[in-house]
Amino acid sequence: MAKQKILVVDDDENTCELIRLQLEMAGFDPLCVYNGREALSVAKEQRPSLMILDLMLPEMDGLEVFREIRRVANVPVVMVTGKDEEFDRVLGLEMGADDYVTKPFSLRELIARVKAVLRRSDTSQSQDDQQVLSLPGFYVNLLSREVRVNERRVDLTPKEFDLLWHLASNRDRVFTREDLLKQVWDYEEFFGDERTVDQHVKRLRRKIEDERASCRITTIWGVGYKFELANGA
């Protein structure tokens, strides 16, 4: 079986080398590049299974690289940010990044996050139990990953789709943020920042909810979130 390609984008060659060695030990095929423009070129040519993308890059910053990548592919992205770059981190999540780590990070944590993102992506595409969810004014197809709200097609990032499918296929069930980090992000250990869940829910609401929406994601204060019909049916 071919190894999954992981594209590591960081201008610090020592950091790239450490990540590369850990990825190889974990059974992946890592590729390292050191600037944003090269990252775009390699990503389009090599079509990696996942990108580890530092935000602070020469020639083209990480957010710009991410925007360009999202125009042509839905490759999962784990962003790497500095500890004081909260604005960029939140913006990256709002744009659709699947996860992030903050420098300095442990390599063990990074590899765990990479595996979790890939595992969840593979699982969501290979499930063969319930494949279609159809509610009044709301349609989701697991195999084609198609979402329609009142006949309007809705484009979602891979992680947004995974989160919506999990909530909608368990309608009226309340999930804590920690539940969702474990079940959607598939963390075996609690590495996740709960704000990751909040940002993804915020983006989903903007995409699927309006004055005509028949379904919604409801906040259960002090607990978490649930998916329900807007009329309470």
pLDDT digits (tens, 9 = 90+) for 24-63: 999 999 999 999 889 988 988 888 999 999 988 888 888 8
When mean pLDDT is compared across 67-71, 81-85, 131-135, 143-147, the lowest value belongs to: 81-85
In CATH, what number does 128-229 get? 1.10.10.10
Q: What's this model's pTM, rounded to 2 decimal places?
A: 0.61
Per-residue model confidence (pLDDT) at position 175? 94
Residue 200 contacts residue 222 (beta carbons within 8 Å): no
Residue 174 contacts residue 220 (beta carbons within 8 Å): yes
Residue 155 tokens read as 């484009």
**Where do the domains of the chain lie?**
5-124, 128-229
Segment 223-231 shows an average pLDDT of 89
> pLDDT band at residue 145, thresholds of 50, 70 and 90?
confident
Architecture of domain 5-124: 3-Layer(aba) Sandwich (3.40)
Q: Could you tell me which residues are beta bridge partners of residue 138?
A: 135, 149
Residue 169 tokens read as 């296929």
Greater confidence (62 vs 9) lies with 9
